[in-house]
Structure 1
Amino acid sequence: MTVNVDRVPLGDIISHQKGFAFKSKDYLNEGHPVVRVSNFTADSISLDDLKFVGDEVAVQNTNVVLKEGDIVIATVGSWPSNPASIVGKTVSVPSGLEGALLNQNSVRLRVTNGQIDDQEYLFYALKSPKFSEYLVCSAQGSANQASITLKDIFGYEVEWPEAYVRSFIVATLGSIRRKIQLNQQINQTLEQMTQAIFKSWFVDFEPVKAKTAALDAGGTDDDALLAAMQAISGKDADQLAQMQAEQPEQYTELRATAELFPSAMQDSELGEIPEGWEVVPVSDFGQVVCGKTPSKKKPEFYGESVPFIKIPDMHGQLFATRTTECLSAVGAASQPKKAIPKGAVCVSCIATVGQVVITTEESHTNQQINSIVPFNQSYTTYLYFRMGSLYKHLHDLASGGSATLNLNTGNFSKIQVLKPSLDVLERYHSCTSAMLEGALNNTYDIHALESLRDTLLPKLLSGDLSISQVIEEPDYE
């Protein structure tokens, strides 16, 4: 049967703590992480671009320490109707940020005198469209600096059914949430594996250095090749011999990969690099396209046909699979030279500099993003990690003595980067393509699960969907 759902003022069931205004002079390269509203994702908090403070500052601000499951709401930011808004965004603190400190322009919420899973229930309740609409109506201020008062937040009447119903909702939506988190963890592992190969081959040059070390020690070319195979595979000589006997095809492929790497280093403007590899401008890898925003005065330019990538769509993402805005076919046709195909690498270059994503279909971006359209599809994965490794360098280039970071297209195109030989890049692409394809498929699964969650959420909270109806649904785990 359908349950009745009471509503209670949010302020009656929670305790709160406003964030602290940490000073920029206190920020360090390591220490205690500080969470700012710019770190918020759709539901959680990104570990990218965190600031840090030392022990002395942290000890003075223990009241703003976060723990897993805390609910945090941004109270200041852009207008809520803006698709890239921050104000009113509601997130849950992940386990990786246990003990972090909360910065200003946000408020932390914790359920008081509730049962163990009520904190999670409240998070689901505050992710409902009703709460979002309430915040939109409550926000005041300019387009770029809207705000929501604590009084307004605490006055919201949240759905608060009986305890057994709250527990059931947590169990139902929690199973979907855990599946989403599992897929996210798998994707993180796949990306880390791909990045580890990148670092070994293109940053530390382990196969090349293994060859040179073997030759310098008086070894033969075969000794150098064996050393490179060990560096690439992580196996010792005995394990490689076993691999040759039991997995001859894999052994042959490993040997062929090792043969692609040179056996000497050379000087370059970037320092020592493998012999025969080059240092070239980014534009040598592909056409550089600076995005553009079609006129907002023409609503017919916007629709659901072509993804329109902006910086908030890039945070914590490997692929640009979902955007807050899309262009219509007419809008995309109005700026055909700004179209970028599948496999392009997008890099944010204004304000929030250094975010990188790969496109999964023909897309457009706004003017804050420069995209590299590779001349060869084998360049895509290499460029993604290469541009990601240049985060600090991109910031240095974009500073220019200005408070607002801005790396124009001309300077971006001239950035000098390492260009390995084509055969090595093609082998890297073939070694990593299955991992990235797996991550992309997992991302689509995450979107499907999120859609299911968002469909169930308002019906469960309102009592329109009965417990017996949900029980008949398949297991989401």
Structure 2
Amino acid sequence: NLVSQGNGSVFTNLKTDILKNHVVDVPTLSEQRAIAHILGTLDDKIELNRQMAQTLESIARAIFKSWFVDFDPVKAKMEGKQPEGMTEEIAALFPDRLVDSELGMIPEGWSPIPLSKMANFLNGLALQKYPPIGKDDLPVLKIAQLRSGKLDYDKLASNEISDKYLVSEGDLIFSWSGSLIVDVWAGPKCALNQHLFKVTPEKWATKGLLWVAIHEHIDNFRAIAAAKAVTMGHIKRSHLNEAMVILPSIEKVQNISGVLDILIQRSTTLKAESNTLINLRDTLLPQLISGKIRLNQPEDAAA
């Protein structure tokens, strides 16, 4: 309404009189407070979830570094000590000796495994070649949407793509170009765009282990991408072959890394809950402010 009353050949301007004469309907002060309380409570929960998810992910990364990089449990057992922060059953899966290797000293019986052997890295489609058809179209997951965790429903693709290019809540996604990000998708079903890998762990590996392992190499990947940057820096599949993770035998991997999977799954659940709350907040906001939804007893609601 205000824009329609503006004038100006280069920039649209509003005269002060237009603003003075523009009438805005507002709820009573008590209802305003009730609305603010409802929306503020949602915002508080969303922020709490974000902090909790971030904490869980930090714990997962710290555990991975301690167990799979610094080998603290092995070093503790070498000194005749019980490894801290784990059950006796998990501690028993770690050896009590380090041996020499091409990558330095590693736990006895463990081996370097490239990231490329731990999962299937499926590159997305050039979805501009699959325009929407007007029925059951899919929102497109690009790097920007992975970063924000929110889809843009103005960017759609046909649903007539192979199911393997569909992304669902819980899928591990790694952007290998531009902004290198790795995260578990916590949003609704969408289509995988190019420049993104959908990472499906091998049967012996876990999603949590892959999430942390890729994070362990992400700074190096970003440095490689930055060195190649002309328009958009990127990494190649060969870099996944060169990125090593020191792991025990396949039989022991899931038992040792199970705690990582639990932490990352919990983080994903919190993010998904936040997405639901964000959608609820964004739906309620205009309806509460416009009066389409009224609070019958605002004082009670605020309390």
Name the CA shift for 1:469/1:436 in 2 (closer, same or farther; >3 Å). Answer: farther
Query: How big is the shift at 1:285?
Result: 0.8
Deviation digits for residues 430-453 of structure 1 (CA, Å, limit 9, x no counterpart): 324444343333333323322321
The RMSD of aligned alpha carbons is 3.8
1:290 aligns with 2:118: no
Deviation digits for residues 64-119 of structure 1 (CA, Å, limit 9, x no counterpart): xxxxxxxxxxxxxxxxxxxxxxxxxxxxxxxxxxxxxxxxxxxxxxxxxxxxxxxx
3-state SS of paired residue (2:120): strand
Amino acid in structure 1 at the alignment position of 2:106: I
1:440 match: 268
Query: How big is the shift at 1:359?
Result: 4.4
Query: How big is the shift at 1:180?
Result: 1.9
Aligned residues: 289
1:392 aligns with 2:219: yes
3-state SS of paired residue (2:160): helix
1:231 aligns with 2:84: yes
Amino acid in structure 2 at the alignment position of 1:457: L
1:430 aligns with 2:262: no
3-state SS of paired residue (1:324): coil
| Higher relative contact order, chain-length normalized (CA < 8 Å, sep 6+) | 2
1:371 match: 198
Q: Which ranges in structure 2 are unaligned for 5 or more consecutive residues?
A: none
Residues 130, 158 of structure 2: 8 Å contact kept: no
Query: How big is the shift at 1:302?
Result: 7.8
Amino acid in structure 1 at the alignment position of 2:182: V
2:60 match: 194
3-state SS of paired residue (1:403): coil
3-state SS of paired residue (2:231): coil
Query: 1-side partners of 2:165 and 2:37: how far apart?
Result: 46
2:284 match: 456
| Pick aligned residue for 1:314 from 146, 151, 168 | 146
1:358 aligns with 2:187: no
Deviation digits for residues 329-366 of structure 1 (CA, Å, limit 9, x no counterpart): 73323xx564567765322121112x101246876422
Amino acid in structure 1 at the alignment position of 2:34: F
Query: 2-side partners of 1:281 and 1:301: how far apart?
Result: 42
Amino acid in structure 2 at the alignment position of 1:440: T
3-state SS of paired residue (2:198): strand
Deviation digits for residues 200-228 of structure 1 (CA, Å, limit 9, x no counterpart): 2112211011122x1xxxxxxxx3xxx2x
Name the CA shift for 1:465/1:292 in 2 (closer, same or farther; >3 Å). Answer: same
1:281 aligns with 2:114: yes
Residues 277, 419 of structure 1: 8 Å contact kept: yes
Q: Which ranges in structure 1 are unaligned for 5 or more consecutive residues?
A: 1-6, 10-133, 139-148, 215-222, 234-253
Query: 1-side partners of 2:58 and 2:229: how far apart?
Result: 34
Query: 1-side partners of 2:25 and 2:182: how far apart?
Result: 41
Query: 1-side partners of 2:300 and 2:234: how far apart?
Result: 54
Residues 113, 247 of structure 2: 8 Å contact kept: no
3-state SS of paired residue (1:396): helix
Query: 2-side partners of 1:464 and 1:340: how far apart?
Result: 35
Name the CA shift for 1:348/1:265 in 2 (closer, same or farther; >3 Å). Answer: same
Identity among equivalent pairs (%): 25
2:233 match: 406
1:26 match: none
| Pick aligned residue for 1:332 from 128, 137, 161 | 161
1:418 aligns with 2:245: yes
Query: 2-side partners of 1:406 and 1:453: how far apart?
Result: 37
